[in-house]
Amino acid sequence: MRSWTDFDFVNLALIPMFLFAATFFPLSQYPVGLQWVVRCTPLYQGVALERGLTTGQLTWTMLLNVAYLGILGTVGLRIATRRLRQLLQP
C-alpha cells in the first residue's frame, strides 16, 4: 500500500470474494466455470472448513482447506515481513 487511498483496492477484491464464497448460496448454484474460481479463493476455503466443523461433517478433504490456508498465510506473512523490513531499515 502506497497510501490510504489504496485501501479501495482491498474492498474491490473483498466484496466480490465475500459475495461469491458460497456464504449465502451453495456452490452448486454457480456455473461450473465460476465454481472453480470460487474454490481457489481463501474465503471459500475458510467457509467450507467452518461449515464442516459446525455441522459435524468432518472429512479428509478438510485437511486440504487447512493446508491451503496455512500455506497462503505463511506466504503472506513472509511478504509482509520482507516489505516491512525494507521500509523500516534506514
Domain residue ranges of the chain, discontinuous segments joined by +? 4-88
CA–CA dist 38, 20 (Å, integer): 7
| 11 Ramachandran zone, left/alpha/beta (phi>0; psi -120 to 50) | alpha
* 41 touches 17 (CB < 8 A): yes
pTM for the model: 0.78
Grid cell 466480490 in the structure block, residue: 16
- Amino acid identity for residue 85 in this structure: R
Local confidence band at 1 (pLDDT 50, 70, 90 cut-offs)? low
Tens digits of per-residue pLDDT, 13-58? 888 888 888 888 888 999 999 999 999 999 999 999 999 999 999 9
CB atoms within 10 A of CB 14: 11
pLDDT score recorded for residue 67:
97
- Above 80 in pLDDT, residue 90? no
